Structure 1
Amino acid sequence: MSKAGLTRCPWPGTDPLYVAYHDEEWGVPERDDRALYEKLMLDGFQAGLSWITILRKRDAFRRAFDDFTPEKIARYKPKKVAALMQDEGIVRNRAKIEGAILSARVWLDMMETGPGFSAFLWDFVDGKPIVNRYKTIKEIPAETALSRAISKELKSRGFKFCGPTIVYAFMQATGMVNDHLTNCPRHAACVALARI
């Protein structure tokens, strides 16, 4: 993917799965409540691991977690947690699994008593992506004052595994911020998608 001097962000390397994720998903504004829950949970499972590890296990995660349907996950019992702990296709971390269940319950509460999960998140950026203009990977922060504020609010509501660095990665993935490098074709593409 190279057009007239434009080059893809370097972080996906040449792994076809990673390249497809970069070219088709990362930075695309996501506004679906359930999809945002899924992405936040996967980012939480990533803590201490590389994103490509999670990406390779994403289909197994979706199967194991009922396609990340919060209404189902919120009802998981200890027997289901035990089964998930035996599932070699996912990251078998009890605290993260139990965190996903607790977070599903908070998500349900937010959907029932407020404007919804998507509206809650996008309100932090006034409903439109923050467009950064970084030229190199080194310029991109691991967290920001905004990711710290969102993290604090999510934690206060009961979400788990949502520290400022996880939240910033989530914001990048869901297009709340556009951190494609300016010489990457996806930078302009995601700017255009944000206007739709």
Structure 2
Amino acid sequence: MEIAASGVVVGPDGLARPAWAATDPLMREYYDTEWGLPVTDEQGLYERICLEGFQAGLSWATILRKRPAFRAAFADFSPDTVAGFTDADEARLLADAGIVRNRLKIRAAITNARATLALRPEGGLVDFVWQFRPAATPRPATFAEVPTQSEESVALSKALRKKGFAFVGPTTMFALMEAIGMVDTHLMDSHRRGSSGLWPHSAVPTPGN
């Protein structure tokens, strides 16, 4: 593998990726096919919010490896089903070695399912989250230039908390915004820069910048 001046790693396939996505096959597949692409369905967005919450304090690789078990444990992240989970379900989840057995995070996933249902009369989770899409996106040349939160992620965090969501801090919400394409933090030299289709000119620096 070749490391470019920007810090991206050029793989044997000739494609440039950030270091975190360059070696682990699972992370590379996630980066190449999923991360940064728009998620605009309720179930998919609810799942991402839950998984980002479970990731807090852990590596994303850990969550990604456990995602099949998470989906099995949480009824494929159907908000309608999870909203009806009982104390018995919570006990079942705490005993499931395939997921992250953190009581507060498990409860947050159930709480967030109920909050997702409560948003439906107001237009739904998707419209609620996507209203915080910023007018511009970062253009990081190196990993050190990638932000960890933004004005919009702080506002989204506050808004979701007011609606009853948990484990939705500003840094977690910025990670969500990156993952679902609301911002494009692919490095400028990455082969995935601009892949969301939402920032078609983001790969080309504007004059004077």
1:14 aligns with 2:23: yes
Is the Cα contact below 8 Å between 2:137 and 2:183 reproduced in 1? yes
Q: Given residue 56 of structure 2, which amino acid in structure 1 is its aligned partner? A: A
What percentage of aligned pairs have identical amino acids? 45
Is the Cα contact below 8 Å between 1:2 and 1:185 reproduced in 2? no
Change (3 A) 1:6 1:57: closer
1:119 aligns with 2:127: yes
Structure 2, unmatched stretches of 5+, are 1-9, 202-209
Q: What TM-score does the superposition give when structure 1 sets the normalisation length?
A: 0.91
Aligned-residue offset at 1:43: 0.2
Which residue of 140, 145, 148 maps to 2:146?
Answer: 140
1:75 aligns with 2:45: no
Q: Given residue 133 of structure 2, which amino acid in structure 1 is its aligned partner? A: V
Q: What TM-score does the superposition give when structure 2 sets the normalisation length?
A: 0.86
Aligned length: 191
Q: Given residue 116 of structure 1, which amino acid in structure 2 is its aligned partner? A: G
1:48 aligns with 2:57: yes
Structure 1, unmatched stretches of 5+, are none
Q: Given residue 118 of structure 1, which amino acid in structure 2 is its aligned partner? A: V
1:60 aligns with 2:76: no
Please, which moves more after superposition, 114-123 or 72-81?
114-123
Distance in 2 (alpha carbons) for counterparts of 1:6 and 1:93: 37
Which residue of 145, 161, 172 maps to 1:166?
Answer: 172
Distance in 1 (alpha carbons) for counterparts of 2:113 and 2:157: 16
Is the Cα contact below 8 Å between 1:28 and 1:193 reproduced in 2? no
Distance in 2 (alpha carbons) for counterparts of 1:28 and 1:49: 22
Which of structures 1 and 2 has the larger relative contact order (alpha carbons within 8 angstroms, sep 6+)?
A: 1
Based on CA coordinates, which of the two structures has the bigger radius of gyration?
2
Change (3 A) 1:13 1:124: same
1:24 aligns with 2:33: yes
Aligned-residue offset at 1:134: 0.8
Question: Which one has the bigger helix percentage?
Answer: 1
Q: Is the partner of 1:125 in helix, strand or coil?
A: coil
Distance in 2 (alpha carbons) for counterparts of 1:20 and 1:122: 25
Is the Cα contact below 8 Å between 1:6 and 1:184 reproduced in 2? yes
